[in-house]
Amino acid sequence: MPPISKPAPKSAAGSLASFAPWAAEGGVRVYLRPVGLLPIAAWSAGAAVPLAGGRFAFATAELIVRQGARIERAFAPLTEILAWGWERGTAVAQSLDRRLGALTRGRAPFGGLDLGRPRIMAIVNVTPDSFSDGGDFFDAGTAIAHGEAMLEAGADLLDIGGESTRPGSAAVSPEEEEARVLPVVRHFAAKGAVVSVDTRHARVMRAALDAGAALINDVAGLRDPGALPLVAEKAAPVVVMHMQGEPGTMQRNPAYEDAALDVFDWLEERVGACLAAGVPLDRIAVDPGIGFGKTVEHNLDILRHTALYHGLGCALLIGLSRKTLIGKLSRNEPPKERLAGSLAGGLETLNQGAHILRVHDVPQTVQACAVWEGLHPARVP
């Protein structure tokens, strides 16, 4: 760890001296959200720490302290934050140290993909009723042609789903889901493409992995009782997504005490369950679940706090392509006319270190990411 991770003398925490005096009490949680991100090469040696092993580094963070509904926030240099932690006692100091360690640890390849540059997960909906392109690629032949075009356009992996999880959608039986996705999974696995199966059913996960899928993308966060044991058994990488409620009802009245922190806490619990089951951090990606049981304001709060989720120590995936919030923030455009908003939101999350973007519009996203990489080189020229 670079020198900045070492606690400064206690007097250095002057600006935080009166911050959250109750932080040493029981039941307190602390969080770190990196801010002021700059390319690593822009910092002098020891002046900053890397974010998730990537191209950005930071020396300042938002310190958030929470005890139930009581929340305080402050921005300060890491040296002051760490010194403040030691002043509050060993438990707080150790919690901050764990948060900083998770934020700065390098990320191994996920699903065989190096995370040193943004990766694009292309959406292949083999469904009649998905919110954006339902029915466009419902039969296997059309879905395969669509996936081929996405790979040609530069997609890094294909996310193949057979059940719509749009707000208000009805559940699909695992048998029907398998009939929809397995021919497509087999086709792309046979040609060596990286294939993800988008499902919340353990039975479908097993069938897709046996058919050659490389990883699981579960909008339900492995809540099917058979899902987590299966992921551990198969040593399969998994994307764990947050969703409040079920697709059929999730948008009726979503409520949070603090959306960004509540989602973080839920994901942290699921990551802990994965670790306990024998699934290591390097095989876990987290997705805060934009649009899944969240209002526009909830979604915006989460997106503003994208960098916070690196504190889980995992790869970070963001899926906001064509989502409802884009239409509600502009002129209520239909899903296929939300490309500009999808790109704007996706690039903002890359500015906060997101590793994978899940998208519908692959050629345009590939082009946007190429420009973004040119503006944010891994090493400053």
CA–CA dist 32, 93 (Å, integer) = 12
Find out whether 37 and 61 touch, Cβ atoms under 8 Å.
no
| Coil/strand/helix, residue 75 | strand
CA-wise closest residue to 314 among 354, 278, 285:
285
Q: How many CA atoms lie within 13 A of 107 on its CB side?
A: 33
CA-wise closest residue to 101 among 52, 43, 159:
52
Per-residue CA distances from 335 to 5, 107, 128, 246, 359 (Å): 45, 33, 15, 21, 12
99, 119, 323, 338: which one is catalytic? 323
Provide the greatest CA pair distance for the chain.
67
Cβ burial of 31 (10 Å; 0-12, 13-18, 19+) is: buried
- Catalytic residue list contains 358: yes
Q: How many CB atoms lie within 10 A of CB 252?
A: 10
- Catalytic residue list contains 323: yes
Q: Could you list the active site residues?
A: 323, 358
